[in-house]
Amino acid sequence: MKAAVIVFPGSNREGDMARALEQATGQKPAMLWHADHELPAGTDLVVLPGGFSYGDYLRCGAIAGRATIMDAVRAHAARGGLVLGVCNGFQILCESGLLPGLLMRNANLRFVCKMQHLRVERNDTAFTRHYAKGQVIEVCIAHGEGNYEADDATIARLEGEGLVAFRYCAADGALGGDANPNGSRNDIAGIYSEKRNVLGLMPHPENLIDPLVGGIDGRALFESLASAA
């Protein structure tokens, strides 16, 4: 598994992401700059980390979504290559057109930073095979604009084609009410592209890989990716 992490001006979770990838794959990922033109030969996985690319100016992820390196990321995804975007990375995937819809300001207008339960909607993808279907995991969220929104036709397509990856839920897996931290449509925390090779999610699995910080529920995502290529 050869991974590459793209660093934008204002990214701040690239170190955590690199550590999670190295722990799972045994290899340090390549760190690429937003102005680079190419991915290293043989790259299996491209990761867009969390942070505040370009200071969230204009719209979250809007400027990063049009950065030079994104043409190479789009080509990689079109070839079936794996792409993971977490938090600001998810916002960048939506703004770049790699995933539909977009992330709006949290419905309650507050920045939310807390532990959050998620339900794994399917475990037959490159990202989730080390989880169980329907498993409830606990990871952390830290975002002000994680309110997933798309038009009704897009939501119906995502649901109909099984492209919802994770939903916000309570500890017992129940959906709705206070278990939804930001007002996302259908409690959506993460979605796949049509071919399920691109995943965007708001929570931070890369921060829950070490028992020292209170949990390791994020590990299985990186172990799934390590065994996928």
**Taking contact as CB under 8 A, which single stretch among the options 29-37, 59-67, 68-76, 171-179 is the one that binds other proteins?**
59-67
Q: Which residue, 63 or 189, is less far from other proteins as judged by CB? A: 63
Q: Please tell me whether residue 150 binds other proteins under the rule CB under 8 A.
A: yes
For residue 59, the minimal CB distance to other proteins (Å) is 6
Phi, psi of 71 (to 5 degrees): -65, -40
95, 145, 206, 223: the active-site residue: 206
How many whole angstroms separate alpha carbon 90 and alpha carbon 23? 22
> Any catalytic annotation for residue 206?
yes
d(CA 141, CA 130): 21
Q: Name residues contacting other proteins, limited to 63-92 (CB under 8 A).
A: 63, 66
Answer yes or no: 76 catalytic: no
Structural contact between residues 112 and 106, judged by C-beta atoms closer than 8 angstroms: yes
Nearer to other proteins, 97 or 134 (CB): 97
Residue from the set 5, 39, 62, 139 that interacts with other proteins by CB under 8 A: 62
Which of 2, 19, 74, 105 forms a contact with other proteins (CB under 8 A)? Answer: 105
Distance CA 198, CA 61 (A): 16
Cα separation, 203 vs 90, whole angstroms: 10
**Rounded to whole angstroms, how far apart are CA atoms 206 and 19?**
8
Query: Is 108 near other proteins (CB under 8 A)?
Result: yes
Give yes or no for residue 129 binding other proteins (CB under 8 A). no
Residue 183 engages other proteins in binding (rule: CB under 8 A): yes
CA atoms within 13 A on the CB side of 45: 29
- State which residue, 112 or 229, has the beta carbon closest to other proteins: 112
Catalytic residue among 87, 94, 140, 169: 87
Instruction: Please identify every residue annotated as catalytic.
Output: 87, 204, 206
Q: Which residues in this chain contact other proteins in the complex, by CB under 8 A?
A: 58-59, 62-63, 66, 95, 101-102, 104-109, 147, 149-151, 183
